[in-house]
Structures are given as C-alpha cells and as structure tokens.
Amino acid sequence: MTEHEAQIIDASKAQTVNDGLQNLVTSMGVDGRDPSIANIYVTKTFDQNALDTVYQNWLMKKCVDIPVDDAFRKDRFVITGDGDTDNVKRFYDLESTLGVKAKFVEAAKLGRLYGGAVIILGTSDLDWKDPIKETSAVTHLVVLGRYEIDSVILNTANLVSPNYRAPEYYKIGSNAIHYTRVIQFDGDRLPFKRYQANANWHGSIVQRLNDAIEPAQSVIQNCATLVNQLSTDVFKTPGFFAKLASLGEESAMIKRFQTAAYMRSNLNMMVLDSEEEYVRLAATLTGLPETMFAFMRVVSGAADIPETRLFGDSASGLNATGQGDQRNYYDHVAADQNTVYAPRYVLLDPLLCRAIWGGVPEGFRSQFEPLWQMSDNERADVELKRAQRDNIYLTAEVTTPAIVARQLQEDETYTAIDEEYIDALESYKETAPAAPALERV
C-alpha cells in the first residue's frame, strides 16, 4: 500500500461514511484523483422566449405534443344509470359547442411546454373572485399559459382546505379568479420548495428533454455536414509553398484552383499541367447511421415515447414488431388519462350536467375509449376461443344458453340479443321436459 492510499484510508476513518462506490486502485470516486468527483447537477432555466424558440424544433415539438395528441386521440364517452341517450347526446353537443376537447389539448400542451397552463371557466355570473356557484352556467372556456397570468396566490394557511398548498387565486391584472373557476395543467411536477421558487408553477418538460435532444440534434447536423463532404479534391502542385512566398503568385494559384473547380463542375473535365496531379479522396459513412440512431434512442427514452411512434421507424431486432413497446406506451398514456386528465374533467362535468339534467344524474361517469384495438383477425380468434369455451361448458351443463346469451349481449357480439330473447331462453330451460331416465337392462 502506498503512502497516499494510507492517508486516504486514515482520512476516511476520521470522517462520516457516505454512500458511494470507491476504488483506491483506480482512484474511482476518490477525492482529488477522480475527475468525476467534480460532477454536479445544475438547473437549466428557460424563459418564455427560449421555450417558444425551442418549441419550433421539430423533435422537441413532437416530444411535447405526441403524448397529449395520443391521450385525446380517441373520444371519451359518458354513461348514466338510467341510459338517457337523448340527454347524453345533448351533453356531447354542449361539449362540442364549448370546444372542450380542443381546449383540453391546447392547455395540456402549454402546460407541458411552459410548466403550467389553465382553462378559465367563463360563466354568466361575473363575480369570478368568489367560488363558483351551483347555479353558474358555463358560457365559454379560456386557455392561458403561465406567462399570461401575473401571479398565483397559494393557500398556505388553511390546513383543512382541499386546496392547501395549492392556488387560491389567479391574478390577471387587477382581476382575481377563484381556483374553483380554473382547471390547471402542469408540466413536470416539482418539490414544493422548488415549486414556490418558480413563482408557484411546476417545471417545463423542456428542461429534462433538452439534455437528450440537444446532443442528438448536434449529431444529426454533423452527419449532414459529413454527407456534404463525402469527397475531397487534392491538387499536387510542384513548388506550391515557394510560389505562395513569391509576390503576386498567391492570386495566380487561387485563380488556378478556381478554374479547375469550375471545369470539373460545369464541363465535367479536368485539365492538368504535366507536373500536376489530381487526387479525389472519398470518405465513408460507415457507423454514422448507428451513431445517429443511438442518440435518437436516448431521446425516445427521455420522452417516454417509443421510437416507432416518435420517428415512424420500424422496430429493430429479429422478428421484432414493436407491438410490445406500443402496448407499454399506450398503458402509459392510459395512466395519464386516468390520473391527469380525468380528474380535470371532474371539475367541468358537474357544470355541464346541471345545464342538461339540472344536476348530476345518478350513475354518471365518463371514460376514455381504449387506445389499443384488436385487428379483425385478432378479434375473430378471440371470438372463436370464447365460442369453444362456451360449447364445452354447455356440454358439461356448467352453464346455460341464457347465461351465454347474456354475456354475448354485454360484449355486444350480437346486437339482436335483447332482454326479451334472454328471458325466453330462461323460460324454455325452466319448462323444458326432463330427459327420460335410462333403465338398466
């Protein structure tokens, strides 16, 4: 053991032990010897102008927009306990008139880009500084990004309030808007202290995506530069440096090379002096595509978007279809639908219901249509397997035709199956004559 290593061990015994891997032989993790000891995490800040500028980049725009577009790609549908289809249609019409879906998409994208955005529920009553009333009728929706709101006042005093440590008022100029009249969308959620330091807003996803997108964009540009420099012309001219040193020779040499380049480009020929040589060196692109897609893969991971969706690229690997990645991604989007967007619809739906039914009807709920849908072949295969299962259970008298018919009705396999048909099957089972007993001969 060297004297330096002994000093390090003695010093480590005298200090509090911290978690971390160290290797005294390679100096990995050892203060003063490992350069990575100086690595620290820093926060990159983007103002509105920088965020607006970086949003124009095609890759950043796709990373911001795609998860929102996919979350709202399918419509949501509402269900009521009484099956009132006429009023449900009126509910959809009111949503369409207010442009609810488009407003949610816009606010969600601005929230991801800026770290926060809101939808203000415009109502017929003008006392917006007061909590929204049961009699308030929604007349319009207004989408604002965080930079269009002057300040946010938090509730840090009332511990029992449902909005404790959350906004109490949003101020726009001299107007204060109560939080019950606002639906807020966030970007990357921050710890509370950092949230307060950020003017009571959460963080933009640009801050975490930029570390992956900036190097990838640089690699793409460098690859494009290399493509433009696939070949290099080399002139071998006798006494080149001596001619450069001579007075007046420099301009003559430059004119000579310009003439040669003109003749090669426009006349497709090259004229050389007897002592000159011309060589064309070709570069290779070996490894460039792999390098570029390696950086793209990092962007895909940072954005939580599969490559097949982000870049429109086919899945790589033997027998790879990309369906596994796509399913995982759809599960992630479905989780956002349930945990991020559905609670925000809950703030708006009671107001819409009161406009249609006069109140929230019993059994009212809404849900998004599934993003992943089976193909016709997959659906036919599932139906065949279910039919085989039902036939086995019917033969073993484990189930009845009425039970199978009810399941087919719930699965909407056959629209002609109704309650009357199922009741008829059940009645037939009850009145059917018993099979005669077999006598042993």
Residue 119 and residue 182 in contact, taking contact as beta carbons nearer than 8 Å: yes
Which of 321, 341, 344 is closest to 333 using CA atoms?
A: 341
Domain ranges of the chain: 3-38, 46-225+305-373, 376-431
Residue 189 and residue 165 in contact, taking contact as beta carbons nearer than 8 Å: no
pLDDT of residue 432: 53
- On whether the pTM is more than 0.85, the answer is no
Tokens linked to 277: 């040589």
Tokens linked to 348: 């708006």
> What are the backbone dihedrals phi and psi of residue 120, each rounded to the nearest 5 degrees, phi first?
-90, 125
First-to-final CA distance of the chain: 99
Residue 330 carries which side chain, given as an amino acid letter? Y
> What is the C-alpha to C-alpha distance for residues 409 and 133, in angstroms, rounded to an integer?
42
Q: What angle do CA 51, 52, 55 make, to 5 degrees?
A: 80
Helix (H, G, I), strand (E, B) or coil at 136: coil
Q: What is the pLDDT along the chain (441 residues), one digit of tens a residue?
A: 566 555 555 555 545 556 677 877 777 877 777 777 777 887 788 999 999 999 999 999 999 999 999 999 999 999 887 778 899 999 999 999 999 999 999 999 999 999 999 999 999 888 899 999 888 889 999 999 999 999 999 999 999 998 999 999 999 999 999 999 999 999 999 999 999 999 999 999 999 999 999 999 998 888 888 777 777 778 788 877 777 777 677 788 788 888 887 777 776 777 777 778 888 777 777 788 888 889 999 999 999 999 989 987 765 544 445 566 788 899 999 999 999 999 999 999 999 999 999 999 988 999 998 887 767 787 788 888 988 998 898 898 888 888 888 888 877 788 778 888 888 888 766 555 555 555 554
Residue 180 and residue 174 in contact, taking contact as beta carbons nearer than 8 Å: no
